[in-house]
Amino acid sequence: MTVKEYNRSVEEYSDSIYRFILGNIKDEERSNDIVQDSYEKLWRNVVEIEYWVVKSWLFSTAYHTMIDMIRKEKRMLRIEPSHEREMIYESGYTDLNEILHKALERLPGQQKVSVMLRDYEGYSYKEIGEITGLSEAQVKINIYRGRIALKSFIGKIETVL
C-alpha cells in the first residue's frame, strides 16, 4: 500500500470505524484511542497490506483492540490517590452492615443459607452440603450466584462508603 492509499483509507474509513467502536463501548475518548491504535498498526504493516483489504483489516484490528482494552481494564485495579480516598470517607457515613443485611434478605433461600454458612460461620463446602442436603457442586454454585447477586446489589464499595 502506498502513502496515498493509506491517507485515503484514513479519509474513507476512520469515521465508520469510530462509530462502530463507539456503538460498542459508548466512550468517545476510548473510541478515538482505538481508532488511532488501529491506524498505527496499519502504518506499521503498510508494506504487507494491500489497499483492497484495508477496510476489513481495519475493522478487525479495531475490534480486537477494543476487546483487548476491555479485558485489560477489567484486570486493572483502580488505585486512588490518598486524598481522593479521604474525600470519599468524609462524604457521608453509611451503615455497611445494614446494607449487607438488606442485600442478604434479597437472596433466594438456598443461596442465602449457603453464603451465610460459608462466609459468616466458616463451614467448608462439604459441611454445608451435609447441613443443607445439597451436593458440594450445588453448594459452590449457590455461593457463587449469591455472591454475584450481593455484588450487583451493593455495587461499587466507593458508592457505599
Q: Confidence class of residue 92 from pLDDT cuts 50, 70 and 90?
A: very low
> For 48-54, which contacts have Cβ atoms below 8 Å and span 24 or more sequence positions?
49/1, 50/1, 51/1, 51/2, 51/5, 51/8, 51/9, 54/1, 54/5, 54/9, 54/13
The length of the chain is 161
Can you list the domains of the chain with their CATH numbers? 3-75 (1.10.1740), 89-160 (1.10.10.10)
Q: Confidence class of residue 22 from pLDDT cuts 50, 70 and 90?
A: confident
State yes or no: pLDDT of 67 exceeds 60.
yes
Percentage of the chain with pLDDT > 70?
A: 84
State yes or no: pLDDT of 72 exceeds 90.
no
Q: What b/e string do you get for 126-151 counting C-beta neighbours within 10 Å, with b at 16 or more?
A: eebbeebebeeebbbebbebbbebbe
Contact 121, 131 (CB under 8 A): no
